[in-house]
Amino acid sequence: MDNKETEAIKLGSSIQLSGFRDLDGGKMVVLKKIIGNHVRRIADNSENFENIELVMKPIGPESSDQYEVHAKLIDNGKVITAEETDRNMFVVVDKVLTKIFNNINK
């Protein structure tokens, strides 16, 4: 794993993104909105939201072939994880955060 993949972006005090460093500004604005809306909903429905981490890994010879995203939520000391793969970066982030939300409501 090269250094660019391991560099983390912090959104506030409780959201950490890894592997998103090379995205252009327009894509990051949209992703921040998607992530922010999901995380607000997750935090409102969790016991004691501590933090969430998203790690994105491009798959295939071209970085835009597919995206794999892993999410890890820490809620009241309990770890909840999810992962998704899709060709569309926005869809995969939405799917993985929806999985996390569904898992906290079980």
| Size of the chain, expressed as the number of residues it contains | 106
Contact between 66 and 59 (Cβ < 8 Å)? yes
- Region of poorest pLDDT, from 4-8, 16-20, 38-42, 52-56: 4-8
Question: Is 23 among the domain residues?
Answer: yes
The helix/strand/coil state of 6 is helix
Tokens 């770890």 belong to 79
Higher-confidence residue of 85 and 8: namely: 85
Question: Is 28 among the domain residues?
Answer: yes
Residue-level pLDDT at 7:
77
- Check whether 32 has a pLDDT greater than 90: yes
| DSSP-H helix ranges across the chain | 3-6, 25-45, 89-104
Residue-level pLDDT at 49:
95
* Model pLDDT for residues 45-68, shown as the tens digit of each residue: 999 999 999 999 888 776 557 899
Residue-level pLDDT at 22:
82
> Rounded to the nearest 5°, which phi and psi values hold at 7?
-70, 130
Which residue range is the domain that position 82 belongs to? Answer: 6-104
Q: The domain that contains 12 carries what CATH number?
A: 3.30.160.100
**Torsion angle of alpha carbons 20, 86, 92, 8, nearest 10°?**
-20
Question: Is 1 among the domain residues?
Answer: no
- Total domain count for the chain? 1
Question: Is 58 among the domain residues?
Answer: yes
